[in-house]
Structure 1
Amino acid sequence: SYIICAIVGAILALNGHFALTIGTLVAFLTLNKSFNQPIGQISQQINAVAMAQAGAGRIFDLLDQESEDDQGVVTLCRVETVDGKMVETDKRTGHWAWKHPRSDGHVELVEMKGDIRLEGVNFGYFDDRMVLHNVDVYANPGEKIAFVGATGAGKTTITNLINRFYDIQKGSITYDGIDIKLIKKDDLRRSLGVVLQDTHLFTGTVMDNIRYGRLDATDEECIEAAKLANADLFVKHLPDGYQTMLTGDGANLSQGQRQLLAIARAAVANPPALILDEATSSIDSRTEKLVQDGMDKLMHGRTTLVIAHRLSTIKNSDCIMVLEQGHIIERGNHQSLIKEKGKYYQLYTGAIEMD
């Protein structure tokens, strides 16, 4: 309406029709603009309300979802050795076992070692479209297993299945010889330390963020975990040390510092098994060395599953598995795969050329 009034009014004023002057036209356009402004504001408010309704609809859909049906019966418990026999205890012994009820009423304690096995696993987010095909993975206690391959090959999917975020269509996944379907999900996930590429810190002190790995950890245990992760040095230089407040997802820290706190968080949990998903991909090479040293200390003696695009970080792995379109096409250590001059050789030599 503003444009129409301006054009028509200008034509009438210039041709002297209806005794319309330029001053009158300007006054009329000012009134026109004042009249249209609240209409525009109302339309913007209606648009905001419509967007809010759409967002609220998704939130309510999520809230209406039924809780996961957890039929697991095996739980995690602390144990100590008395007269050469494992017994359950409330003490912080650093040793854990699976509390496995048997059909005869007997409860068996199975030592938690970190033996993870996937046998003949087929999985798809939809039943008609498989993502993983006949995957076999054997991780003995204390071994470091690495997964490499192109984006979308199924590396992260494997770790999601071990955490039982999804259930497989075919095959079996066992943890210390126990089918993970028998293990309560909370206990299963509590036994696995996870360090991801994207680190999320909470509003609170540095100490609180480290303690999130194990809520009953003491201050001394959190500081020891920070030293193990090479985070203690930079934390001491913060304004209030371990009592420094972090806000905005740790916005006052660098990416490398946030990653070191994530490693410290996993260290204080002291899990027998670790999952490291692209943990050093978003930091510079100098910081990567510090983070890598922290992760090497954390991985010592623990079963570790590593997903990495920087192949230099997995050269010392006990076994490297190369995935392509959901299939494991190569497996072996670094030296044997280089000698084969297959897909891993192409990925590794290409990475060196890029560096």
Structure 2
Amino acid sequence: MTTVAAYAAPAAKAPLERTTIERRAVGEFDVLIDVKFAGICHSDIHQAREGWGTAIFPMVPGHEIAGVVSEVGPGVTKYAVGDRVGVGCMVDSCRACDNCRAGLQQYCVKRPTWTYNDVDKDGEPTYGGYSEKIVVDENYVVRIPDGLSLDVAAPLLCAGITTYSPLRHWNVGPGKKVAVVGFGGLGHMGVKIAHALGAEVTVLSQSLRKQDDGRRLGADHYHATSDPETFEKLKGTFDVILNTVSAPFDFAPFLALLRTGGAMVNVGLPEEPVEITLSSLFGNRRSVTSSNIGGIPETQEMLDFCAEHGLGAEIELIRADEINEAYERVLVSDVRYRFVIDATTI
């Protein structure tokens, strides 16, 4: 066991504070990673404040982890000391079900082991990336290409793969029209990736306040959803709508923006139930669906794609003692566009 410094929520809705946690000894197939940067995802706030249900405390959040390998177990073949690596939302799965065998570990039939707020196979709670070090099985570690700086790569381990996976699954590319609802931590990566895939990209945001940023990052069009004309003008326009908003809203006007056979893919997860009127789906054979991160092979594919196209997250680097302030700023959308913790300050 190794004792490391970390930032943890001691109880639901309590401010995070500096503490120490125990990391397991490096096993045969384990990789010890010195965490360099950890992104702050809205999911961290949902879980630390029990917005998604009962949680495990103390909780060390963080599933956007970028670092450097400092030790490997004797059976490790994929990584060596000094390698630049990342860890995302899961650190294990059953490995035997059809989904795991297909590289879709995020849909493990027996459920993945999440990077934090979960219990590992040894019965111990998992602790996330707001820490100095983390130990992870090599099969749930990905390589960060040299073309990506570790600080801007960290958010790709959640925000990047969460948007990349559905865009690839729904065949977004040249000739396709994509709308991204919400222009925050997820949305800005959705715009970058959809643009790099060759799609015509529209941002649908509450206001035009971030329009210049949207166009700079790859949006061809930018519309305010607070303007009723937006919904009239864009009826029947989009092949795919990527909804990154983690709060409930009226789906019907957005569904009307889909072409025949179009899909609205939800990657934000509100704490409250969402109501959908079935009649809003019938007119154009529209679909409402969802997507949950990506498997390990697809996460590596996403990182390689981002490196090839020069896509990193737009970040604001903070010290660890600024985490609680950052949480409050995330809740009022006061970040452009992802907070990243400098782990040397933990």
Instruction: Tell whether the structures are fold-level matches, with TM greater than 0.5.
Output: no
User: What TM-score does the superposition give when structure 1 sets the normalisation length?
Assistant: 0.27
User: What TM-score does the superposition give when structure 2 sets the normalisation length?
Assistant: 0.28
Task: Report which of the two structures shows the higher radius of gyration computed on alpha carbons.
Answer: 1
- Answer 1 or 2: which has greater helix percent: 1
